[in-house]
Amino acid sequence: MYFVANWKMFGDLKGLNSLNNVINFVTRNERKNFKVVYCPPSTLIFSLSKKFKNTPIDLGGQNSHESENYGPYTGHINSKMLKDIGAKYLILGHSENRQCGENDKLINLKIKNGLKTGLKIIFCIGETLKEKKNNKTNQILSNQIKIGLNGIKNKSNIIIAYEPVWAIGTGLIPELSDLNNLIFFIKKKFKNKSQKVLYGGSVNENNINQLKTINNIDGFLVGAASQDAKKFIDIIKKTYN
């Protein structure tokens, strides 16, 4: 199981001490065979890579520029730079970036370059509330997967994160029956039967008991609740209780 912490634009150097508890917890429970990945703002990756050294916790970026090479792109960083400071994973296609204008084609380029750099990609897909209401969910997910992964034969370093846009940061989660159907629908699109699919969107220490029952779910992408070490640990603990 994956537990991916997406800190979004939150967090500072001072706050990193709270992660000592997470390090202790993860180290003590290593045999349970789960993977914890922290995706903090890029400003914290280097410090965290030192803190997580010799621990099983990995780091990831939250987005990258699509260019494989360095270039005159003020304010941007690419996957090579993220890898250089310790990232092994990279979240791409998050709806908060799609809402800022990222389309499936651009996300496809980012995924290709992230893979070339050697990062594992956490590829976010999900429908808006309007699309859901219009019964477009399956079509939207299919398109996002088709265009986002166009031309990528080897998908072993891709983890899909199904994140309904309307569930992110709202406290709402889909009906379990819908989630079971959609995770099945997504997995069926891949030849490799062990394709990893995570759920994300308002995952917290209270609803995890329900969410962990999703058939064949491979883990969770956690936003707000991951900023609180205790809540994040609780989510992992409850998944195994």
Site size toward ligand PGA (CB under 6 A) is 13
118 interacts with ligand PGA by CB under 6 A: no
Q: How many CB atoms lie within 10 A of CB 140?
A: 18
* Catalytic-residue membership of 163: yes
What's 219's DSSP letter? E
Please say which residue, 52 or 162, places its beta carbon nearer to ligand PGA. 162
Q: Is 224 in the site for ligand PGA (CB under 6 A)?
A: yes
Using CB under 6 A, which of 223, 229, 235, 239 touches ligand PGA? Answer: 223
Catalytic, out of 66, 94, 127, 131: 94
By CB under 6 A, which span of 71-79, 113-121, 173-181, 194-202 interacts with ligand PGA?
Answer: 194-202
Among 58, 102, 163, 205, binds ligand PGA (CB under 6 A): 163
Question: Which residues, listed in sequence order, are joined to residue 36 by a DSSP beta bridge?
Answer: 3
Tell me which amino acid residue 162 is: Y
Do 62 and 95 meet the contact criterion of CB atoms below 8 Å apart? no
The binder of ligand PGA chosen from 141, 168, 186, 198 (CB under 6 A): 168
Give the pairing of strands 219-222 and 197-200: parallel
Give how far the C-alpha of residue 171 lies from the chain's centroid of Cα atoms, to the nearest Å.
18
- Residue (80 or 197) nearer to ligand PGA, CB: 197
Tally Cβ neighbours within 10 Å of residue 191: 6
d(CA 3, CA 182): 20
At 126, phi and psi to the nearest 5? 165, 155
Note if 76 is an active site residue: no
> What's the rounded Cα separation, in Å, for the pair 37 and 129?
28
Query: Binder to ligand PGA among 122, 159, 221, 236 (CB under 6 A)?
Result: 221
The DSSP letter of residue 45 is: H
Q: How far apart are CA 152 and CA 135, in angstroms?
A: 28
Task: Quote the least distance from Cβ 69 to ligand PGA, whole Å.
Answer: 29
Distance CA 217, CA 196 (A): 8
> Which two tokens mark 118?
């050697």
Minimum distance from residue 201 beta carbon to ligand PGA (Å): 5
108 is an interface residue for ligand PGA by CB under 6 A: no
Using the rule CB under 6 A, is 144 a contact of ligand PGA?
A: no
For ligand PGA, which is the closer residue by CB, 80 or 162? 162
Would you say 84 or 178 has its CB closer to ligand PGA? 178
Residue carrying the six token digits 């990893």? 196
Least distance between ligand PGA and beta carbon 132 (Å): 16
Short-list 95, 154, 84, CA closest to 121 = 154
201 binds ligand PGA (CB under 6 A): yes
Active site residue ranges: 94, 163
**Could you list the residues that contact ligand PGA (CB under 6 A)?**
6, 163, 168-169, 200-203, 221-225
